[in-house]
Amino acid sequence: MEYQFPKDFWWGSAASGPQTEGTYEGDGKGPSIWDHWYQEEPGKFFDGVGPSDTSQVYKRYREDIQLMKATGHNSFRTSIQWSRLIPEGTGEVNQSAVAFYNDYIDELIANGIEPFMNLYHFDMPMALQEKGGWLNRETVDAYVVFAKTCFTLFGDRVKKWFTHNEPIVPVEGGYLYQFHYPNEINMKQAVQVGFHENLASAQAIAAYHQMDLGGEIGIILNLTPSYPRDANNPEDVKAAAIADAFFNRSFLDPAVKGTFPEELVTIIKELDMCPDMQAEDLTTIKENTVDLLGINYYQPRRIKAKESAMDHSHGPMPDDYFDTYDMPGKKMNPYRGWEIYEKGIYDILTNTRENYGNIKCYISENGMGVEGEGRFINDQGVIEDDYRIAFVSDHLKYVHQAIQEGTNCVGYHMWTCMDNWSWTNAYKNRYGFISVDLANDAKRTIKKSGHWFKEVADQNGF
């Protein structure tokens, strides 16, 4: 069967500033929470590789853009590092950063690749984290100034903006499950952080629309559909709906509808954990919804009614309302420990059409991390990653089906362009169309999947 995609479909990949740029003597970048955490606990990072040793894009973006071109990109998303542009989070703008991002953007456009820019990708400037980070209302104000600064500097050329990438992750990682700095377990704080991120997004959207720069602004959400163990068991169905409210709808509903999910509001009120807010905040969120939704999809969430004992050593947790269900026979990516469920991408897209006004959306991330890809190098030095080609094409078939049924999905970006640093996992699992050989001056080589993707983009299908 042939899968033909709509005219002007966005083909490309996604990355982020903190995961690719690196840090260099004299670049003027201030420390983010990642730089700080790595200094404090380098042993937490796979192979001891920290954020200053990423894939050197700060120096090598011109070469990399040629490789993007060679792998069929007509669009590419990265992020502007807050701590690079405004090293202290507030105050002075770093002119070296302005020059770098200007040149990066211009080079992309000169090569026929549209830049998509995200503003916040887990990289809180340490100076702001010391004052509470997203717990502190002042951070919201500082973020809006950062956003406006970006719009002013780069908005004449960048026409696709995103306020946050996966804003649920700083909530989960930093304040519930301890996989991001500051590693707290405190649901009341998690609620406040989530609220401030939602508010910051809405305020940045308001600012962007006021500036009338002729582009679109949205948000990037990692949507993990919650499937009940037994669709005929009301307790399982209810548990899945609550998990969905916590991890998907907590940002999806305010971003697209301007309201928070009732199930979540009820629980937060029962727990007496309502966030601190000002009188106009809910109106700001209501009136400033997204133009465009980016959807990151990697895996589903399988849920059953709560059966295990509650652990209240740190107070209430989202897991008090559901258990994870280990579904027998599921297809797995053994390296990442994630289920591979291609139809999930179709279910998310269908949900945007049926329940979110068929908002204009695109797949902003989807991909497969594999450890030890060196095993698959052929005689020409190319990694034969047929598993990645299968993963992407199997997901694209479901994207195509959703579009055929009327979903307003306008693009597909894989994570990621070239193997990049992935937080505490560093370079453990590789995701790129292009390999990066850290032992050999970060030498770049296009993988088999990159050559395949070029054909897909050129034909606008496969």
Catalytic residue numbers read 365
Annotate the chain with three-state secondary structure: CCCECCCCCEEEEECCHHHHCCCCCCCCCCCEHHHHHHHHCHHHCHHHCCHHHCCCHHHHHHHHHHHHHHCCCCEEEEECCHHHHCCCCCCCCCHHHHHHHHHHHHHHHHCCCEEEEEEECCCCEHHHHCCCHHHCHHHHHHHHHHHHHHHHHHCCCCCEEEEEECCHHHHHHHHCCCCCCCCCCCHHHHHHHHHHHHHHHHHHHHHHHHHCCCCEEEEEEECCCEEECCCCCHHHHHHHHHHHHHHHHHHHHHHHCCCCCHHHHHHHHHCCCCCCCCCCHHHHHHHCCCCEEEEECCCCEEEECCCCCCCCECECCHHHHCEECCCCCCCEECCCCEECCCHHHHHHHHHHHHHCCCCCEEEEECCCCEECHHHHECCCCCECCHHHHHHHHHHHHHHHHHHHCCCCEEEEEEECCECCCCHHHCCCEECCCEEEEHHHCCEEEECHHHHHHHHHHHHCEC
Given a contact cutoff of 8 angstroms between Cβ atoms, the answer to whether 301 and 246 are in contact is no
Nearest to 285 by CA among 194, 215, 172: 194
Quote the Cα angle for 211-215-220, to 5°: 105
d(CA 375, CA 46): 20
